[in-house]
């Protein structure tokens, strides 16, 4: 590497470090000036290249202020974790390696680390021992892969090879979903040819959990899709139905984008009791585990079905080594995303992850209690890390003003017909101090109008 190339890398690394170091000092949302300055990117494609140092300076000058500080400690929007420093550092090193993770031959280290994470995941999450894991972009893809594996399994029992013959004329499959299934699960169903609307929908209870008592008789031609962690309430479907569904021959899939991690917490694992009996699970690294984007896992009890659904052939594709990562994912070439996850799992260990999940759930309970004490209505039963609060007719104003206040960031939703502010505590960086500071800001903003009106 020549001196100039080295300077470019140092410039990027230094700026990245400065960004991380200063993130707590800045407002969570970008300022209106920073947003206006994004116009700087409206350049014509340069005819001749521009100096790389200038490019990195430019990106930092106009790009960094235009970010949302979701990698800080007071971002409670959507379900967004930060990046644990160990994961970020591992990610940087892995980016320097620039490994193509598709084959063992193109990255022996990635293939090795995938097998380790696969083993650790089955130890820490409520999934079947010996499950196979695919490293995908997020739960949208994890749901897709798991449902593809389910389709392969069910149709092969009817001697139908869906990979070869497709869906036209295939024996019908019934898909059962909860009323509160996440949109990404429905999208996965549509991408697989099942249709978003060709499903049996089971009503949910007051906290968005599937009413498992209303599930009809199932059979071997059925996929039952359950959910651990309703995106609004954090509600976790009751897993006690799973053994019954299995005895009827159904394939049970669990979308556990964040809620599956409740199973890693000593205090919360009762919520996911029975989950290990399911057939497939989808979860994210980039939410509660605080792995950088993008990072999701498809987990399948019988890896053979996942491999059949995801695999492909190419005479040039070297099949050497103990693990061929592309057999478990839709992509052939991709980044070595297991490495970031391995770094967090190794750094925190089972106890550290237990602590992270337990602590963030406790913050959610604390916030819910304090908001209630202050006279505001909490709309959900706080089971995990999500709080839904209503400020009555002021809800939209409060959300808008919280976002522009900059102390913290919360988004909005509609829950059972009522507008609500969502508070999702997913960051490993969030401390008690952050929670108190954020609560103060929420109460100040919420009371603002009343004070002015008096
Ligand atoms: C329950 C559930 N499923 C699926 C998803 C989609 O996950 P991703 O954005 O990683 O694709 C989410 C996102 O919040 C979720 O909460």
* Domain CATH number, residue 412: 3.40.640.10
Q: How far apart are CA 241 and CA 227, in angstroms?
A: 13
414 and 374 in a single domain? The answer is yes
Q: pLDDT 10s digit of each residue in the chain, 454 long?
A: 999 999 999 999 999 999 999 999 999 999 999 999 999 999 999 999 999 999 999 999 999 999 999 999 999 999 999 999 999 999 999 999 999 999 999 999 999 999 999 999 999 999 999 999 999 999 999 999 999 999 999 999 999 999 999 999 999 999 999 999 999 999 999 999 999 999 999 999 999 999 999 999 999 999 999 999 999 999 999 999 999 999 999 999 999 999 999 999 999 999 999 999 999 999 999 999 999 999 999 999 999 999 999 999 999 999 999 999 999 999 999 999 999 999 999 999 999 999 999 999 999 999 999 999 999 999 999 999 999 999 999 999 999 999 999 999 999 999 999 999 999 999 999 999 999 999 999 999 999 864 443 3
Does residue 78 fall inside a structural domain?
Answer: no
Task: Please give the helix or strand (H or E) that residue 438 lies within, else none.
Answer: helix 432-453
Q: How far apart are CA 201 and CA 178, in angstroms?
A: 6
Q: How far apart are CA 66 and CA 141, in angstroms?
A: 28
46 and 161 in a single domain? The answer is no
Calculate how far, in angstroms, residue 390's C-alpha sits from the geometric centre of ligand 1: 23
Contact (Cβ atoms closer than 8 angstroms) between residue 278 and residue 263 = no
Contact (Cβ atoms closer than 8 angstroms) between residue 260 and residue 126 = yes
Q: How far apart are CA 306 and CA 311, in angstroms?
A: 8
Is there an atom of ligand 1 within 6 Å of 284 CB?
A: yes
Q: How far apart are CA 162 and CA 166, in angstroms?
A: 5
308 and 199 in a single domain? The answer is yes
Query: What pLDDT, on the 0 to 100 scale, is given for residue 451?
Result: 42
Which residue, by CA, sits nearest to atom 16 of ligand 1?
A: 231
Which residue, by CA, sits nearest to atom 10 of ligand 1?
A: 138
Q: What is the domain range of residue 277? A: 84-454
32's tokens = 């209106």
pTM of the model: 0.97
Task: Report the nearest atom of ligand 1 relative to the CA of 256.
Answer: 1
159 and 230 in a single domain? The answer is yes
426's tokens = 């997913």
Is there an atom of ligand 1 within 6 Å of 208 CB?
A: no
Does residue 434 fall inside a structural domain?
Answer: yes
Question: For the chain, what is the domain count?
Answer: 2
Task: Report the nearest atom of ligand 1 relative to the CA of 287.
Answer: 10
Which of 234, 235, 257, 383 for mutating ligand 1's site (highest number of atoms within 8 Å of CB)?
257
Q: Which residues contact 322 (CB under 8 A, 6 or more apart)?
A: 104, 111, 115
Is there an atom of ligand 1 within 6 Å of 142 CB?
A: no
Query: What pLDDT, on the 0 to 100 scale, is given for residue 282?
Result: 99
Half-sphere exposure of 67 (CA within 13 A, CB side): 16
Contact (Cβ atoms closer than 8 angstroms) between residue 341 and residue 285 = yes
Contact (Cβ atoms closer than 8 angstroms) between residue 339 and residue 94 = yes
53 and 166 in a single domain? The answer is no
Is there an atom of ligand 1 within 6 Å of 301 CB?
A: no
374 and 450 in a single domain? The answer is yes
Is there an atom of ligand 1 within 6 Å of 340 CB?
A: no
Is there an atom of ligand 1 within 6 Å of 390 CB?
A: no
Task: Report the nearest atom of ligand 1 relative to the CA of 284.
Answer: 10
Task: Report the nearest atom of ligand 1 relative to the CA of 286.
Answer: 10
Instruction: Give strand pairing partners of 296.
Output: 136, 284
3-class SS letters over 120-146: HHHHHCCCCCCCEEEEECCHHHHHHHH
Calculate how far, in angstroms, residue 94's C-alpha sits from the geometric centre of ligand 1: 25
| Maximal CA-CA distance, the chain | 77
Query: What pLDDT, on the 0 to 100 scale, is given for residue 384?
Result: 98
313's tokens = 């052939």
61 and 95 in a single domain? The answer is no
Which residue, by CA, sits nearest to atom 12 of ligand 1?
A: 257
306 and 450 in a single domain? The answer is yes
Calculate how far, in angstroms, residue 303's C-alpha sits from the geometric centre of ligand 1: 23
Contact (Cβ atoms closer than 8 angstroms) between residue 82 and residue 89 = no
231 and 279 in a single domain? The answer is yes
219 and 255 in a single domain? The answer is yes
Is there an atom of ligand 1 within 6 Å of 234 CB?
A: no
């Amino acid at each position: 590497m020549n001196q100039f190339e080295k300077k470019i890398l140092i410039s990027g690394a230094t700026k990245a470090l400065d960004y991380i170091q200063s993130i707590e000092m800045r407002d969570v949302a970008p300022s209106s000036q920073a947003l206006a300055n994004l116009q700087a990117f409206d350049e014509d494609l340069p005819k001749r290249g521009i100096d790389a140092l200038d490019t990195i300076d430019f990106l930092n000058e106009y790009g960094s202020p235009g970010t949302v500080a979701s990698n800080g400690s007071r971002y409670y929007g959507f379900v967004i974790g930060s990046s644990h420093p160990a994961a970020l550092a591992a990610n940087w090193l892995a980016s320097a390696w620039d490994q193509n993770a598709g084959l063992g031959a193109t990255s022996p280290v990635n293939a090795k680390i995938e097998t380790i994470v696969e083993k650790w995941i089955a130890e820490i999450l409520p999934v079947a021992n010996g499950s196979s894991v695919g490293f995908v972009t997020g739960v949208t893809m994890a749901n897709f892969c798991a449902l593809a594996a389910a389709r392969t399994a069910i149709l092969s029992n009817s001697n139908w090879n869906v990979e070869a013959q497709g869906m036209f004329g295939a024996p019908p499959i019934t898909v059962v979903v909860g009323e509160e299934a996440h949109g990404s699960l429905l999208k996965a169903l549509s991408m697989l040819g099942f249709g978003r609307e060709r499903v049996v929908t089971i009503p949910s209870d007051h906290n968005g959990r599937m009413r498992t008592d209303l599930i009809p008789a199932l059979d071997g031609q059925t996929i039952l899709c359950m959910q651990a962690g309703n995106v609004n309430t954090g509600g976790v479907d009751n897993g006690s139905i799973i053994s019954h569904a299995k005895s009827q021959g159904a394939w049970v899939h669990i979308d556990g984008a964040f809620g599956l991690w409740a199973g890693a917490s000593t205090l919360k694992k009762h919520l996911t009791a029975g989950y290990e009996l399911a057939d497939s699970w989808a979860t994210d690294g980039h939410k509660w585990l605080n792995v950088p984007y993008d990072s999701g896992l498809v987990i399948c009890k019988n890896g053979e079905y996942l491999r059949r659904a995801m695999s492909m052939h190419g005479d040039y594709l070297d099949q050497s080594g103990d693990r061929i990562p592309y057999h478990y994912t839709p992509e052939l070439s991709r980044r070595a995303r297991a490495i970031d996850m391995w770094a967090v799992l190794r750094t925190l260990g089972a106890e550290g992850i237990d602590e992270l999940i337990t602590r963030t759930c406790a913050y959610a309970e604390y916030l819910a209690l304090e908001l209630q004490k202050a006279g505001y209505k909490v709309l959900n039963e706080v089971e995990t890390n999500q709080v839904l609060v209503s400020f009555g007719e002021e809800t939209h104003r409060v959300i808008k003003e919280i976002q522009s206040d900059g102390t913290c960031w919360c988004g909005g939703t509609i829950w059972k017909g009522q507008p609500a502010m969502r508070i999702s505590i997913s960051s490993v960086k969030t401390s008690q101090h952050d929670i108190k500071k954020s609560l103060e800001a929420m109460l100040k903003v919420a009371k603002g109008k009343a004070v002015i009106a008096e």
